[in-house]
Amino acid sequence: MRRLYIPTLGPTDWRRLLADPEIQWAPRKSALEMAVSWEAARTSARGLPAEVASALDSSSALSGAELVIGLPEHQVQIRGGGHASQTDLWTLLRRGQDFFSMAVEAKAGEPLDDLVKDWLQNRRGRTRKPERLAALQKQLGLLNHDVQEIRYQLLHRAASALIEAERFKATLAILLIQSFDQAADDRSWKDCIKFGELLGLEMCNGQVRPASIQTAVPLYFGWVSSSPADEHRLRSAV
């Protein structure tokens, strides 16, 4: 578990944290778009991109929340073994005396990983994937639900938000998908609708809504569409 962090000075500080910077750090890719989006928002009153703030304000429980700290490429160890889940951006939000744990996953045409059924089949030799999946389902209150057709990434990103909520004594957890190319992300949007149905909520672009499943703290899920930065702004960050 990482305990020490260094503040960013701009979007390029996000690059070195990526698993494959040569491929991921490019104009119109989600990693670069997200870094520019959130770094540009640092001077705003709430420290949030406008569309993210608007989505949070769509819920009475989240309205007015502001950014306390944001950690790019934040790794969270998932119960059940295996690799840590590396969230594009984990944030700690505050509203009054309450703190919220929010995991933000950026997309710009990139898929949401494999379906759970395919992820389970792609294993060699001895593996702890069944134990990891069971731990994720328990964390998400989905032990008695069929998750075979759900994107695996959605499960462990939502679990990451919940795990960090417990660690930081937050009152609720949020998983937010931030899309920088709505047309290219249509498949992911449909996958999120299916995941939302599993959580007992109806997805709505630009809103964050509460799940009806029972988790350690309440879980919220949402989607926002963000405009990509112009070419000059993106090039300056490369």
Could you read off the pLDDT of 71-100 as tens digits, one per residue? 999 999 988 777 899 999 999 999 999 999
224 φ, ψ (degrees, to nearest 5): -130, 145
30 φ, ψ (degrees, to nearest 5): -65, -35
Determine the Cα–Cα distance for residues 200 and 164; give it in Å rounded to an integer. Answer: 22
pLDDT at 237: 61
Residue 24 has which token pair?
Answer: 């991921």
Packing angle between helix 152-167 and helix 129-139, nearest 10 degrees?
60
pLDDT at 125: 57
pLDDT at 19: 87
What does the DSSP 8-state code read for residue 218?
-
Number of neighbours of residue 152 by Cβ within 10 angstroms = 21
pLDDT at 106: 97
Q: Is the pLDDT of residue 51 over 90?
A: yes
Q: Is the pLDDT of residue 30 over 60?
A: yes
What is the pLDDT averaged over residues 145-174?
Answer: 97
pLDDT at 83: 84
Q: How confident is the model at residue 204 (pLDDT cuts 50, 70, 90)?
A: very high
pLDDT at 117: 95
Write down the residue that tokens 């057709």 correspond to: 149
Distances (CA, A) of 11 to 7, 19, 170: 11, 16, 27
